[in-house]
Amino acid sequence: MRQIFLDTETTGLSPETGDRVVEIGCVEMVNRRLTGNNRHFYLNPERKSSEEAVRVHGLTDEFLADKPLFSAVADDLIAYWAGAEVVIHNAAFDVGFLDAELKHIGKPLFHAHVASVTDSLLMARDMFPGKSNSLDALCKRLEVDNSSRTLHGALLDAELLAEVYIRMTRGQDSLVIDSGESAHGPALQVQKVDFSAFILPTVAVSEAERAAHEELLKSIDKTGEVLAQWEKAMA
């Protein structure tokens, strides 16, 4: 199963009023293993970012001025997304912006290029009702290290989302790169054991051992209930 974890940063909150995407980060996972085949682009939005947005992601108009337009990277992204399940935290926000960018250059909308879209925010709300389910809150709850997240960044947030998702869906404690190494060193491979295949031996006790055990039970069992259960089991 091929999954892509995606995040965007934007000039503001509303594509309907002309806000644009300034950063896209994508992280690929195949069969619950990170592949390292990621995508990351800073984009020239051809407009100024709001002050509030810059405070969130730190991407100034000056920094973005010489970056490529969305149209320059669209074909690469569309080919990369093709056939994948895309996981996005608060998917309606990011998909709304991506739809606007695709429509702007005459391309089919986002859902036409992917197998499906999974909203990890909705998943988290089902798992943790009544609690904060922001990405930061989930990192803290699921013990994902987000100490490097001083500002929002699309690639970093996509990487954190992948780690959060794998923990939410009961995978290994941390993600594994195809090379067999995690971010903390060589990955530990744990072999599953089917204990139902083992036959436990039955050891017979002598009458003397049985009598000694009953005497011990009598000495510690003031109500007689434990001894009664023992005699019933041995009958």
Which residue, among 97, 106, 129, has the nearest Cα to 6 in the 3D structure?
Answer: 97
Burial of 97 (0-12, 13-18, 19+ CB in 10 A): buried
User: DSSP readout, 174-213?
Assistant: S--BTTSEETTEEPPP-----GGG--PPP----HHHHHHH
End-to-end CA distance of the chain: 54
- DSSP letter, residue 170: T
Select which of 57, 89, 113, 152 is catalytic.
152
Burial of 26 (0-12, 13-18, 19+ CB in 10 A): buried
Distance separating alpha carbons of residues 83 and 85, to the nearest angstrom: 7
Distance separating alpha carbons of residues 50 and 56, to the nearest angstrom: 10
Is 2 within 8 Å of 34 (Cβ atoms)?
Answer: no
Which residue, among 109, 171, 156, has the nearest Cα to 6 in the 3D structure?
Answer: 156
Is 92 within 8 Å of 15 (Cβ atoms)?
Answer: no
- Per the annotation, the verdict on 89 as an active-site residue is no
Q: Catalogue the active-site residues.
A: 152
